[in-house]
Structure 1
Amino acid sequence: MARKFLYFVASMVILVLAGAFVFRLYGDELMEVAFVPDTEFTAQEVLETNVYADPLMWLARPELVKGNPALWLPQGYEDAEPALPEGKKAAVFFIHPTSFLDKDRWNAPLDDKESQARARIFLRGQASAFNAIGDVWAPRYRQATMGAFLTTKPEGQQALDAAYQDVLAAFDYFITQIPDDQPIILAGHSQGSLHLTNLLKDRVAGTPLANRIVAAYVAGWPVSVDTDIPEMGLDICAAPDQTRCILSWQSFAEPADYGRILTVYDMTIGFNGKPRKDSKLLCSNPINGDIDSSALATANLGTLVPNEDLREATLVAGSVPARCDKRGFLLIGDPPEIGPYALPGNNYHVYDYSLFWANIRADARRRMASFPVR
């Protein structure tokens, strides 16, 4: 039992290190040896045409009711607002973060039970924020393993590129299955948000589809205001009732130490081909629904405080504030008692949705109410 417990603790610590920009920064030689695959990258077989027509290729979609993690709600929770009428709902496309931790391959097999179980845990605490305003579609995809973020090997980027091709295939199928005029909400976290930034650039920018996007929630991934946003096809969500816009935030308790993140970030190139160095990060305040603002804890409608195995959570209101600093990080005051999985530097990446779950839920509803009537 003790051995199993220690394995569980180790796996959960690794879980919060899985699949985000910052994770490259904490991977020392030991982490690389332990988690970066030492095998050659093998190109994945191209998925069969229309493979996402199979409901089993989705963790969440409208037909899936029993066991659908995106339908989860905290025990005893009831929405204060009435349910939206069927004809007024959005279609929500959600891309889950990294849940594959193995080092025997660069991309997750679709039938890997452990990574799929972890992905379901993520969807309960993240995608569930959107289930009041529409049907959530969350594809399974051959995600890059956690080790892809802990190395400079070219195989790491190849794994991410391969995962993105699955996401594109899922999104293209999703678009064919919803009404031509139905509003769309896009959302993701960590590796999922990385793929979402590219999807916005490749599938939304400069297309009629941009007019149908209520909002895109790009949580847990850095987005440059100057070098990324102009290529992503939508404006920044500068007001709480704005639509056709992008939100993004990275959560840190104080004192926040994100210097190493900026070191890596400043070495990268933006979507417009120019260096991101010294450019400001997009900092949306999930409590206020705007940018570069501050909010007291009393304005936080509810933080999800998970239990030990992350399968359930209690909703606690008024416990976590939020303010954007000058560089574009979201600061949440003293470290909250929300769980043991904060990263070095008081980085609360794994809790980007949990910290503001009820406010994100209200934000999506408010933007839906403001979206032009079909």
Structure 2
Amino acid sequence: MSEFLSEDIQLNFYDSVASIGKSKWSRVFTDDNPFTQFEYLLALEQSLSVCSDSGWRPQHLVITSNSEVIAILPCYEKSHSWGEYVFDWAWAEAYERNGLEYYPKLVAAIPFTPVSGQRIGMISSISEVSREVVLNRITHFLNQTIKSEQFSSWHCLFLPQNDFKHLSHSTISRLGTQFHWQNKQYPHFDDFLAQLVSRKRKAIKKERKAVANFNYDFIDGDKASKEQWQGFVHCYQQTYLKRSGHTGYLNADFFSQIASSMGRQVRLLLVTNDQNNLIASALYFVSNTHLYGRYWGCLEEVDGLHFETCYYQGIEYAIHHGLTVFDAGAQGEHKVARGFEPVETYSNHEVAHDEFRKAIYHYCQQEQQHIKQYMQDLACKLPYKEKDNLQ
């Protein structure tokens, strides 16, 4: 056993991040990814956006050694598959057809947030050997849990590649794809455009010109007024109502809490007309290296406004602030024509039912080949003049 670990490693579930505490949480999640911050998950729980009634019952896994917290896995007991963005509806339907229950299941994820990042937070002083020991103990513990507690399965979503590779030795691995914009140290937006083929460059200029009569203002979350936050929430809720028939996964209390607790990592983009009336709004998050576009809404339907608000304004912000990656959210093949490159996303899964495990394993193996071919095909459609230089 490593010098960092005792023989007595304990693994226990906690029903809230508050019961774990910020100091212990911050000891294992040490980077500045906004979505693994204690404040973000606390706001989800305290606003009741995440709770048993919403189908996300917190079951955070805490690993201790010598009574010291050495690792944490944000985890939830799920009674549905909404808000995960790694789609397993077909698996649930197959269970139902065979008279089996797919729910509840255990999901290690950031609710409603398809953003890759650390899912298994560990203390920075841990050695690589000890890290592997902990990962193995977590895997074994979760495997035993789903068999003894009547969960169908456990899932770890949008984790980094290194942990994905380790877990893939003993679990089902699954690939996905998203589209991220990579900043090649462009001084200005026009320098980015200059790297595109003429036809795509002209198309983007045309799209931007069509909505250039609006005003676009980024405001730090902790500096935005209560009225400005209310305006964003109204846009968000109205757009969800039109699209999905409900007001969104997140409520006004959640947005109020993150404005107060982590406003420095939040950016509101407000879109107004010449009369200073709010037309649309978007919510972004920032780290030292990344810009994350998360939510948007509009009060008027304007052609091209979504592209400007959610893509081009984000690209300009990333360039101006020297951010290396702009992650504008899940899915959206149309992003490719606007310079967003396909990147892999990773998830691991374990299924208690032996026959279904075999079927899902083979399904994911076949799916991986399709995903890789899909990404290759899309890479050929990127609008850049020099595709060989892409990351």
- TM above 0.5, one fold? no
Which of the two has greater strand per residue? 2
State TM-score, norm by structure 1: 0.28
Where is the helix percentage greater, Structure 1 or Structure 2? 2
Higher RCO, 1 vs 2 (CA within 8 Å, ≥6 residues apart): 2
Greater C-alpha radius of gyration: 2
